[in-house]
Amino acid sequence: MFKKLFKKKKTTKINFDQIDLNLSEQGKQSIKKFCNRTDKERIGDIMTLGDKGDNNFFYLIYYASLFDPDLNVRFAALKRIPNFKDNPNFDLLINNLNKPEIGENLEPYYSMMLCNLGKITPEELNIRMSK
């Protein structure tokens, strides 16, 4: 129990150069805080903030969908991306997700997101889901 109380808190190094957004220092600090939360807490954050569709939190959805180490966090972010379709950086996110090494690894949520955005038809979604 003693070890559990006094263990070092994990810290995650983030390469902000890979994030194509023009982030403020406050945005960078928010991502750092987000990264140091547990997987379950990050999923909850994405669900809460993503369901609101508030463009002030787009950068967290962007980060979570492209870079989060937990696949379930990434899936939660993908599900909420359509709520941010009016964000000026929305196309940048979609273009990054369209890279084969990224989108392919996020199936079936990637295809469901594309269908919700009208980029593929429900029939195409069914074909992708049956593969």
Q: Are 91 and 81 in contact (CB under 8 A)?
A: no
pTM: 0.84
Q: How many Å apart are CA 118 and CA 114, to the nearest integer?
A: 6
pLDDT per residue as tens digits for the range 15-62: 776 777 788 898 899 999 999 999 999 999 999 999 999 999 999 999
Q: Is the pLDDT of residue 80 over 60?
A: yes
Residues whose CB falls within 8 Å of the CB of residue 108, separated by 6 or more in sequence, listed in order = 128, 129
- 1-5, 68-72, 101-105, 126-130: which has the minimum mean pLDDT? 1-5
Q: What is the mean pLDDT of the chain?
A: 88
Q: CA torsion angle for 115, 18, 47, 75 (degrees, to 10)?
A: 50
pLDDT score for 27: 86
CA angle in degrees (0–180, nearest 5) for 74-75-79: 115
* Range list of β-strands (E), 8-117: none
CA angle in degrees (0–180, nearest 5) for 49-50-52: 70
